[in-house]
Amino acid sequence: MKAAVYYENGPPSVLKYEDVPDPACGPDDILIKVEAVSIEGGDTLNRGGGPLLSNPHIVGYQAAGTIIEIGANVKHLKPGQRVTTVNFAGSHAELRAVNALTAWPVPDSLDIKLAAAIPVPFGTADDCLFEFGKLQKGETVLVQAGAGAVGIAAIQLAKRAGATVFATASSDERLARLKDLGLDQGINYKTHDLVEEVKRLTDNKGVNLVVDPVGGSTLQKSILSLAYRGRVSLVGQAGRDPAKVDVSTMMQGNQTLSGVFLGAEIFTDRVRGNIQRHIDDAAAGKLKVIIDKTFALKDAAAAHEYIESRQAVGRVLIISNGTAAIEKKTERGDGRKIRHAVHSFRPEMPLKGAHDRLGLHVIDAKHLNPIAIIRQLKLKLRHGITAIPEFQQRTVNNRHRINPNADACARQPRPVKPLTRIGLSLRRDIRMRNNRPWHDRMARENFLT
């Protein structure tokens, strides 16, 4: 598959567009064809100085697409289903394998591009405001970096909860675009002193809660903007400057500073449920997802550079097309593809009804040479089967029908050699010309070489 990778940390230019091995789908995982990648703040931070989990490393938390394979232990998802996913790495690629618990179904009414940008920003904003920020109706909230994805999510969720919402941004133009999302008052931090402006807007009281994804020197200003018993939810280091913070003022005000990291609890029912609720609300039009700009996967370096220019309002996406990667897997005769093809042959489906879709040259099922059929099938598997999902939808013959609700590709392989499994399926319906079982002969052949 193609991916945007890097071999060392550094600026956006370290990203290279290269061929890399396809990811493996484990028993608890799903494999998706990536269609949209939402570039997170953590992606740029990791590229700049985070650990390389592999070399080359594929960065990226968040991506959405269509499931093409599921692990043996996955019961709540199926191939062909659209999902949005989160993982600590691997989003900047044509294919992605993630734990099924960090994948959320996408309703048909929601654009997959919008779905790609929901889990991390909205899940994080929810935790900052409610789980750790303890926001109540009628309180005031200051959202730092309001034009970022977490900021946009926090503005909407806070306003919906009945709060008065302030936000910061680097220009009046960016602040103006946030008004429709529920922003009550914007603060241009380049032209105004943040703390003084907050005190002015609150009659010198300060705000009840600050959501701070910037950190660094901005964190000190967040603390100084608090009201009595105010809270700060610190959720990032987007500012990238070292944090030098004097917390002594917090004691007199009985104030609280909480660090928030969504990934620590992303496998819990609470967080997973929150994220699914936000996805459903976006599909119903109750929440807005703002996409600023899109780039092709091969232009990932340019996408990262654009994000770091701080021009964006909302998320920047990478658009990927995993179809090419899937075709390559088929051409190579990838093991997973063979297993999927094998599971399309069920005992109730004689080969005669399926040979035309596989391209096997069979005239009459009563006079098959099964060894030749298996060899033809091997060649066909290696050179491309693209119609496997159609098996479950077509009538094989007048006596045998495929269940239209069954998904052949979703069945998981037993621990046997794939082509032996074909023989086990075919031998129930196909016999040699003299009507003797032929599976003993087939077992002596090495069909996997």
Please check whether residues 125 and 260 belong to one and the same domain: yes
Any domain includes 179: yes
Please check whether residues 187 and 249 belong to one and the same domain: yes
Any domain includes 275: no
From residue 199, give the alpha-carbon distance in Å to each of 205, 209, 386. 6, 14, 64
Look over the chain and give the mean of its residue pLDDT values, rounded to a whole number.
Answer: 80
Any domain includes 272: no
**CATH number, domain with residue 98:** 3.90.180.10
Which residue, 303, 313, 317, is CA-closest to 114? 317
H or E element at residue 16: strand 16-19
Question: Tens digits of per-residue pLDDT, 160-200?
Answer: 999 999 999 999 999 999 999 999 999 999 999 999 999 99
Any domain includes 283: no
What are the E-state strand segments in 114-266? 140-143, 164-169, 185-188, 207-212, 226-234, 256-259
Any domain includes 276: no
Tally of CA atoms within 13 A in the half-sphere of 197 that contains its CB: 16
Please check whether residues 70 and 168 belong to one and the same domain: no
Question: Tens digits of per-residue pLDDT, 234-272?
Answer: 998 766 677 678 999 999 999 999 999 999 999 999 999
Please check whether residues 142 and 217 belong to one and the same domain: yes
Please check whether residues 198 and 107 belong to one and the same domain: no
The answer to whether residue 93 scores a pLDDT higher than 70 is: yes
Check if the beta carbon of residue 151 is closer than 8 Å to that of residue 97. no
Any domain includes 191: yes
High-pLDDT (> 70) share of the chain, %: 70
**Beta strand pairing status for 29-38 and 62-70?**
antiparallel
Any domain includes 269: no
Please check whether residues 346 and 315 belong to one and the same domain: no
Any domain includes 109: yes
**CATH number, domain with residue 171:** 3.40.50.720
- pLDDT for 449 equals 30
- pLDDT for 322 equals 63
Q: Provide the residue range defining the domain that includes 10.
A: 2-117+289-324
Please check whether residues 159 and 108 belong to one and the same domain: no
Please check whether residues 100 and 127 belong to one and the same domain: no
Please check whether residues 86 and 133 belong to one and the same domain: no
pLDDT band at 389; cut points 50, 70, 90: very low
Which of 299, 324, 349 represents a domain boundary (last residue)?
A: 324
Return the number of other C-beta atoms located less than 10 Å from residue 319's C-beta: 16
Check if the beta carbon of residue 125 is closer than 8 Å to that of residue 157. yes
- pLDDT for 333 equals 45
Number of compact structural domains in the chain: 3
For the chain, the C-alpha Rg in angstroms (whole number) is 27
Please check whether residues 395 and 374 belong to one and the same domain: yes
Which of 324, 341, 369 represents a domain boundary (last residue)?
A: 324
Please check whether residues 58 and 143 belong to one and the same domain: no
Render the burial of 263-283: b for 16+ CB within 10 Å, e for the rest: bebbeeeebbebbbbbbbbbb
Please check whether residues 62 and 166 belong to one and the same domain: no
Question: Tens digits of per-residue pLDDT, 405-438?
Answer: 444 444 444 444 443 333 433 333 333 334 444 3
